[in-house]
Structure 1
Amino acid sequence: MGKPVLAEMIRSHAAERPDATALIFEGRESSYAQFDVHASRVANALIGAGVRPGDRVAFLGKNSDLYFEYWFGAAKAGAVLVPVNWRLAPPEVAYVLGDSAPKIVVADPMFLDRLDEANGYRIVVTEPSGNLPLFADWRDAAGSDDPRLDAGYDEPVLQLYTSGTTGNPKGAMLTSRSLLALRQETPADVMPEWNRWSADDVALIAMPVFHISGSGWGMWSLQHGGKGVVVREFDPHQVLDLLVKYRITKIMMVPTAMRIVCDHPDAAGTDFSFLKYICYGGSAIPLDLMRQAIAVFGCGFAQMYGMTETAGTITGLPPEDHDPEGNDRMRSVGVPLPGVEMRIVGEDGAELQRGTVGEIATRSPSNMTGYHGRPEATAEAIDADGWLRTGDAGYMDADGYIYLADRIKDMIITGGENVYPAEVENALYSHPQVSDVAVIGVPDPKWGEAVKAIVVPVEGQAPEPAALIAWARERIAAYKAPKTVDFREALPRNPSGKILRRLLRDEYR
């Protein structure tokens, strides 16, 4: 018998722990037995609508327990789910739907203006809207027998579109192997303690499900029989209440959200003894925020690094490397997870010496199978030996810790010298009046490009540009320090928290 595929884990939990809570969403609770039956009904509804194994079906909506029923129902029917970023503009949504060609689109009514059944798909809505079929009615009208048409272990079950910071987004095809293998094949006592899951865990599923951080976080909880608390959108002002109400044991958030939660007037007086770990990604955590968060939450902290094409996390900076006094390792994204190989390569693909900046490459069962309908792009990303080139620049130290330099395309070339924005940002982050910062290259007649810092000051503070530049020059080489500093109230970020430097560069070019 082959290895268990995505839907099999729900079947097994439904058989072994039928009454255990699988998902909670806005007061609605589903046991594993109910979740399994709902997924089977969704599968049969899809089959009845003409969906066949290998077909795509799409979801255009905010987080919901219905999303996970839809995903696992699609898996039982052998279909591939395509969650669509609802923040995209109508032409961008149209591109993703045109590229994936779904048979069915389940959507929140607020996004119906971006859909048109004339494009060959049927629309089902999550909440009442006109004469369109309602998801719950559509689901419950179908039979409850499990069709068991699951795709094979190495066939796609999820198709996530990359953020598309350059050009059109590409659909990364993730298989059951991509999503499950690292935990299926790694003994629990070998997996880092912060990355172990159990049926006792209560996870807050708050990152958007159109991103691997949302779908993956929810899937990890379901894979291990935990309880998932789904929230429609991440609202850092509500996190405190949610943590306490449901006694969350694991949460994922970006550092900027962590700061808002820590600054809540009730945070310092709340007992967080139930919270085991806060996992974060998207950017390093400033030292002052780390000290504040340790004082407020008293739990373990782990930074995670990964990407859509790797089905999420492939390295982690463990709690023991988070030192309130600061250390060099806190500038890293940690070490590869068990089962993950990583190396730093040059343009020719050859591995570079430790400490040398190059492109980060990775090989593991988590890698995508490829980009949907893009064989050339797939061949550029993954070589014949299975190594995926991430597009991220970085280096590995003698102990195997990975340090991000930055996206290669974001590298600044000033006066013939290469400058990686993350290094400059880390220097400025340590300034007590800096809340957030992005560094970009802007056209310069003398240097080709000049380093510019765009700073979000700490509330109530007004740092001087000259003081920030001097601060940076004390910590990094003078040619890396910003030539100019601008200020603003917030920085553009994608749902995973990564700064969208392309948007900033466009403003200055």
Structure 2
Amino acid sequence: MLGSGVAMNRENTGFVWQLLKEEECTDAWLQPFAIHDLLDLPKSVTEDGFRLRSIVVTGQMIDNFYTGVIGRFCQNMMVIYSSNESPRVAVNGPIDGSKPLQAGDVGRPFPGVEIRIVDDIDIPNERGTIGKIQVRSPYAMKEYVGNPQLTKQVFTESKWYRTGDLGKISPEGNLIIVGRENDVISRGCKNIYPGMLESLLREMTAIKDVCVVPVPDKRLLEEVCVCFLSSGQVTPEDVKRFFEQKLFREHTQSSLGEIPTYFLRFETFPKVGNGKFDRKRISLEAVARLGLNKTSTTTDN
């Protein structure tokens, strides 16, 4: 088992793949950032024909971009939704790449696991409506030892675990993750889900990665800033045009209310210890680059 420090270093990606081959591994459990790094490797690394049977991915919501490993690095992939408090919640797969993967689709519950979507006062929502994800599972922990107050905060009286994630149930019965409660951007009276915007922008050619963060606005409280990494000469104007001309006409109903206001190109994104983007630091840098503060009025960049 590799240490997280080895796997998280982008420069070690080729070494990690070589190690999987030398150990004749059949399956690998990888974080999304590791899959992203694999897809950046030159095509020559897989010319020898070695393929994993399956890549299992967990840790954050993923979209169709990540299925690019199928056929090239593995025969299929599995998406698992879980947490430290409640492992083995839902699974989607095996995914063979024959049809697009909807962003955030983590499949159906494991046997014995119940999932519900609720509003702010724990009342279940209608199917298809975005709300807070709660889980009741025989695999869930019972309590935080020595911390009854925290246990009470994360579990309802009927033992539903409050995951902190937002999602909905698809017409097919799959759980669709749309983001974290803490990441939701409150633009006026409308909630904007960064994960949904990020998955849409990854469809744009030459976009390597994207992080959507809030920035302060005097009138609306928060505005939406798209921070992106690109592999070519992609300008903020190009990205804005892509949103306006294609994505929201095809993917959302209330398009004008969700088009971001700011677009910034980054060279790299800071990350936290588990490899995820450090959204707080990215937001702070965006605020500084845009010249905004909590009392500022929105201005064009």
- Which range, TM-score by smaller chain? 0.7 to 0.9
Amino acid at match of 2:84: T
Aligned residue number for residue 298 of structure 2: none
Match of 2:149 among 376, 388, 394: 376
Give the match for residue 440 of structure 1. 213
Q: Compute the displacement of 1:324 (Å).
A: 5.2
Given the alignment, which residue of 462, 465, 472 partners 2:243?
472
Q: Tell me what 1:246 maps to.
A: 23
The alpha carbon displacement at 1:367 in A equals 1.4
1:325 shift after superposition: 5.0
Distance in 1 (alpha carbons) for counterparts of 2:88 and 2:233: 37
The answer for the alignment partner of 1:287 in structure 2 is 64
- Contact preservation (8 Å) 1:239, 1:261: no
Give the C-alpha shift of residue 436 in structure 1: 0.9
The partner residue of 1:333 within 97, 106, 119 is 106
Tell me the distance in 1 between the aligned counterparts of 2:145 and 2:281. 26
The residue matched to 2:82 in structure 1 has which SS?
strand
CA distance in 1, matches of 2:152, 2:57: 31
Amino acid at match of 1:309: E
- For residues 149-160 of structure 1, what are the structure 2 equivalents within 5 Å? none
Q: Paired residue for 1:255?
A: 32
Change (3 A) 1:327 1:300: closer
Q: Quote how far apart the aligned CAs of 1:301 are.
A: 0.6
Structure 2 SS opposite 1:326 = coil
Distance 1:365 1:490, change over 3 A: farther
Distance verdict in 2 for CA 1:289–1:380, change over 3 Å: closer
TM-score, length basis structure 2: 0.83
Structure with bigger helix share is 1
1:236-266 Cα offsets, whole Å, 9 max, x none, are: 2212211111111121222332233244333
Aligned to 2:203: 430
- Alpha-carbon distance between aligned partners in 1 of 2:21 and 2:192, rounded to the nearest angstrom: 44
Distance 1:361 1:436, change over 3 A: same
Contact in 1 for aligned 2:64/2:101 (Cα 8 Å): no
In the aligned structure 2, how far is the partner of 1:384 from the partner of 1:503? 36
Which residue in the other structure is 1:323 paired with?
Answer: 97
Taking the aligned partners of 2:149 and 2:65, their CA distance within structure 1 comes to 45
Superposition deviation, residue 483 in structure 1: 0.9
- Structure 1 CA distance for aligned equivalents of residues 162 and 238 of structure 2: 39
Instruction: Look up the match of 2:2.
Output: 206
Matched, 1:236 2:9: no
* Structure 1: unaligned runs, 5 residues or longer: 1-204, 209-231
1-structure distance, mates of 2:112, 2:282: 37
Query: What does the per-residue CA deviation read over 1:331-372, in whole Å, with 9 as the maximum and x for residues that have no partner?
Result: 412221122111101111111111111110001122122223
Match of 1:299, SS state, is strand
Q: Which amino acid aligns with 2:217?
A: D
Look up the SS of the partner of 2:46 in the other structure: coil
Provide the secondary structure at the position in 1 that maps to 2:132: strand
Please identify the structure whose Cα radius of gyration is greater: 1
- What do residues 61-120 of structure 1 show as CA deviations (whole Å, max 9, x unaligned)? xxxxxxxxxxxxxxxxxxxxxxxxxxxxxxxxxxxxxxxxxxxxxxxxxxxxxxxxxxxx
Calculate percent identity across the aligned residue pairs. Answer: 27
One-letter amino acid matched to 1:326: P
> Structure 1 residues 478, 470: CA separation in 2 closer, same or farther (over 3 Å shift)?
farther
Equivalent residue for 1:366? 139
Conservation of the 8 A alpha-carbon contact between 1:424 and 1:472: no
Are 2:218 and 1:452 equivalent residues in the alignment? no
Counterpart-to-counterpart distance in 2, 1:283 and 1:400: 20
Rounded Cα–Cα distance in structure 2 between residues aligned with 1:354 and 1:303: 22
SS in 1 for 2:260: coil
Contact 2:144 2:150 in 1 (8 A): yes
Task: Select which of 271, 274, 280 maps to 1:502.
Answer: 280
Amino acid at match of 2:79: Q
Determine if contact 1:450/1:482 at 8 Å carries over to the other structure.
Answer: yes
Q: 1:412 to 1:259 in 2, by over 3 A?
A: closer
The 5-angstrom pairing of residues 32-431 of structure 1 reads 205-206=1-2, 208=4, 233-234=6-7, 235-265=12-42, 266-273=44-51, 275-291=52-68, 293-310=69-86, 312-320=87-95, 322-323=96-97, 326-328=100-102, 330-431=103-204
- Partner of 1:405: helix, strand, or coil? strand
Q: Give SS of 1:355's match.
A: coil
RMSD of Structure 2 on Structure 1 (CA): 2.2
Given that 1:406 and 1:420 are in contact with CA atoms closer than 8 Å, whether structure 2 keeps it comes out as: yes
CA distance in 1 between partners of 2:99 and 2:137 (Å): 34
Secondary structure (helix, strand or coil) at the match of 1:296 reads: coil
Decide which of 448, 462, 466 is 2:233's aligned counterpart. 462
Name the counterpart of 2:290. Answer: none
In structure 2, distance between residues paired with 1:446 and 1:288: 36
- For this pair of structures, how many residues does the alignment match? 275
Q: 1:498 to 1:294 in 2, by over 3 A?
A: same
- 2:188/2:222 contact within 8 Å kept: yes
For residue 284 of structure 1, report the CA deviation from its aligned partner: 4.3
CA distance in 1 between partners of 2:63 and 2:220 (Å): 30
* Secondary structure class of the residue paired with 1:380: helix
Q: Distance in 2 between matches of 1:302 and 1:400?
A: 17
CA contact (8 A) 2:91 2:110 kept: yes
* Paired amino acid for 2:224: V
Q: How does 1:10-25 map to 2 (within 5 A)?
A: none
Shift of residue 443, structure 1, vs aligned partner: 0.4
Distance (Å, rounded) in 2 between the aligned partners of 1:502 and 1:389:
23
Give the whole-Å Cα distance in 2 for the aligned partners of 1:345 and 1:315: 17
Residue 496 of structure 1 and its aligned partner are, at CA, apart by 4.1
Secondary structure of the corresponding residue to residue 489 of structure 1: coil
